[in-house]
Structure 1
Amino acid sequence: MELPGALYAPTGEGFTASALTIGPWDPALQHAGPPAALLAREAERAGGIPGGQTVRLNYDILGPVPVGPVRISTTVLRPGRRVELVEAVLDAGGRPLMRLSAWRMRTRTEGLPAAAPGVAPVAPHPAPAGVADSAPGEAAFFRSDVAYHKALEWRFASGGFNSPGPAAAWTRPRCTLVEGEPISPLQHLLVMTDAASGISAILDGSTATFANVDLSVSLHRPPRGEWLGMDATTVLGDSGAAQCSAVLFDADGAIGRSTQSLFVEPR
């Protein structure tokens, strides 16, 4: 099966989504991972700190994003030479559907203070197994053969798409984010991270809806390398809400964390 080469194709006014953005609930609607990455791309391009590091990304999902043309507008809410706050808003048909608030910082590699004596160094990646010892996985619940689950190669160190409960997975991109340019490690991370609640689901998707209304990602360093991963857990409350949290990592160790708030109801 030949897959599209990118999640989005640029147009004169914005971008057009490919079939690789299709989510599990409706073949006409996107998974939130690809538009999250696209918003981060635009926020970085709008920022005024050359080579800056994006350290926190807060997404509000205002409505489902259709598979089709989208546009993104950006605003630098707090300019600065050392830190800046950038907002990016995705809309389709004139309606805002996802909003990103991103803090970015100036980077430096020299003159940094050392950790206090006795503080342990960052541990290796938290996954139970590395990429080579993890099992390939395919999601059985997507309605379309070509959809979001094919945008990444998946290797599960524990758990899996089709088994409920916590899961740890490695991923590698099978496509680029935007046609004609390479996908960056941060873009790859954001395409992947919204799936944390999917790989760690504790409810049967055929009988329950558990859609996240937000995504928050905090990073203490940039991701690097071909393979990135997440170790995710979902906790179900007793009032129709759930919370998913994940440790994000690459082959060198942990890089940050993500959280998602989920709205839960019977189908």
Structure 2
Amino acid sequence: MTHQLTEDLDKILASGDFYFESLGEGRYRSSWHAQGAWNAHEQHMAPASGIMAHELEQFQPRSDMRIARLSFEIHGLIHAGEFEITTRMVRPGRTIELIEAEMKAKGRTSIVAQAWRVITGDSAAVAGVEDAPVIGPQDCEALEISKLWPGGYIKSVEMRAAEGRRKGKGLAWLRTPYDLVDVHNASSMSRLIGLVDTANGVAPRVEPGAGEWMFPNLDLQIHMYRAPAGEWLGLEAQQSYGTDGIGLTSTVLHDESGPFGRAEQILTVRSR
């Protein structure tokens, strides 16, 4: 087992300028840039959700529809190295469709994702957004997040934080210079979805990384009332802990044009 883990890690460390290497037919190999923060031999949920969004987008695409909601259920350790994603139609339809993708590594399910695709149309006459705009990345200060969290994924992102960020609440912008997939065919939506899970680390209520407490998320739910675009993702996050070991990170999602949706992550809060 130790020998196999060493071999897998050696393959992962031989990284290029991408998070995942495409092996064809829904099979991939994660690079070091996808390494998680809680365990050196796992993938971070952020790029893992991005590659699953990419597969969902590629599955029986329709030009008159877009993904409006993504739901990710984390079944266990997201093993680094090789994995496969299988996608299926759950509920076909003329105006709405539900599709599902499953990630498997080492013979076990890591993540199950579902996406609602909705037919698009002109609703400009009644359009309106209640989420307030925020200051952009150009008005925020650089934050060396890799000093707070370990792992290859954390080192792969550039983060800028707004003034006033504190334990439990804050705004941060992030982007990455790395492609989601080595074949360079991922959309802006998939690349930005591949950063959203970072929200859980923007303003934690307790010391992150090697602190006395852990607060990994069990899921990631994303609702988008507008299609995101660009390279910067804004995370306006707040984090709440209950008294019985369960917490919640709630986030308004922004791109440089303004807010485009929301994300929720349920947490298991426990002492190390």
Q: Report the TM-score when normalising by structure 1.
A: 0.88
From the superposition, tell whether residues 182 and 47 of structure 1 become closer, same or farther in structure 2 (CA, over 3 Å).
closer
Instruction: Give per-residue Cα distances to partners, 1:106-152, cap 9 Å, x unaligned.
Output: 223x4x3622xxx8x4478633x2221111112213334xx111332
Residues in 2 aligned to 1:43 and 1:183: alpha-carbon distance in whole angstroms:
11
For residue 164 of structure 1, give the secondary structure of its aligned residue in structure 2. Answer: coil
> What's the counterpart of residue 173 of structure 2?
170
For residue 188 of structure 1, give the secondary structure of its aligned residue in structure 2. Answer: helix
Residues in 2 aligned to 1:102 and 1:124: alpha-carbon distance in whole angstroms:
23
Instruction: Give per-residue Cα distances to partners, 1:197-216, cap 9 Å, x unaligned.
Output: 11121012310110100000
Gaps of 5+ in 1: none
The question of 1:209 aligning with 2:220 is answered no
- Deviation for aligned residue 1:182: 4.5
Residues in 2 aligned to 1:29 and 1:197: alpha-carbon distance in whole angstroms:
17
Which amino acid is 2:46 matched to?
G
- Deviation for aligned residue 1:228: 2.0
Residues in 2 aligned to 1:51 and 1:176: alpha-carbon distance in whole angstroms:
26
Q: Is the Cα–Cα contact under 8 Å of residues 56 and 103 in structure 1 kept in the other structure?
A: yes
> What's the counterpart of residue 71 of structure 2?
58
Instruction: Give per-residue Cα distances to partners, 1:72-104, cap 9 Å, x unaligned.
Output: 001110112321100000000121110101001
Q: Is the Cα–Cα contact under 8 Å of residues 192 and 231 in structure 2 kept in the other structure?
A: no
Counterparts of 1:193-232 in structure 2 under 5 Å?
193-205=196-208, 206-232=211-237
> What's the counterpart of residue 125 of structure 2?
114
> What's the counterpart of residue 80 of structure 2?
67
Which amino acid is 1:226 matched to?
E
Aligned residues: 255
From the superposition, tell whether residues 207 and 159 of structure 1 become closer, same or farther in structure 2 (CA, over 3 Å).
farther
Residues in 2 aligned to 1:209 and 1:172: alpha-carbon distance in whole angstroms:
25
Gaps of 5+ in 2: 1-13
Residues in 1 aligned to 2:20 and 2:65: alpha-carbon distance in whole angstroms:
24
Which residue of 248, 252, 256 maps to 1:251? Answer: 256
Which residue of 34, 37, 47 maps to 1:34? Answer: 47
Residues in 1 aligned to 2:24 and 2:225: alpha-carbon distance in whole angstroms:
36
Please identify, of 253-262 and 75-84, the stretch whose mean Cα deviation from structure 2 is larger: 75-84
Residues in 1 aligned to 2:259 and 2:150: alpha-carbon distance in whole angstroms:
33
> What's the counterpart of residue 18 of structure 2?
6
From the superposition, tell whether residues 96 and 102 of structure 1 become closer, same or farther in structure 2 (CA, over 3 Å).
same
Instruction: Give per-residue Cα distances to partners, 1:16-53, cap 9 Å, x unaligned.
Output: 00001111111111110111011111111113423521
Residues in 2 aligned to 1:137 and 1:3: alpha-carbon distance in whole angstroms:
24
- Deviation for aligned residue 1:188: 2.4
- Deviation for aligned residue 1:60: 0.3
Residues in 2 aligned to 1:49 and 1:130: alpha-carbon distance in whole angstroms:
33
Which residue of 257, 261, 265 maps to 2:266? Answer: 261
Counterparts of 1:225-244 in structure 2 under 5 Å?
225-244=230-249
> What's the counterpart of residue 184 of structure 1?
187
Which amino acid is 2:206 matched to?
L
> What's the counterpart of residue 9 of structure 2?
none
- Deviation for aligned residue 1:236: 0.7
For residue 132 of structure 1, give the secondary structure of its aligned residue in structure 2. Answer: helix
For residue 168 of structure 2, give the secondary structure of its aligned residue in structure 1. Answer: strand
For residue 114 of structure 1, give the secondary structure of its aligned residue in structure 2. Answer: helix
Which residue of 141, 154, 165 maps to 2:159? Answer: 154
Which amino acid is 1:20 matched to?
H
> What's the counterpart of residue 134 of structure 1?
140
Residues in 1 aligned to 2:163 and 2:41: alpha-carbon distance in whole angstroms:
31
Which amino acid is 2:150 matched to?
R
Percent of residue pairs identical: 32
> What's the counterpart of residue 111 of structure 2?
98
- Deviation for aligned residue 1:64: 1.3
Residues in 2 aligned to 1:208 and 1:230: alpha-carbon distance in whole angstroms:
23
Residues in 1 aligned to 2:132 and 2:178: alpha-carbon distance in whole angstroms:
24
Residues in 1 aligned to 2:47 and 2:36: alpha-carbon distance in whole angstroms:
10
Q: Report the TM-score when normalising by structure 2.
A: 0.87
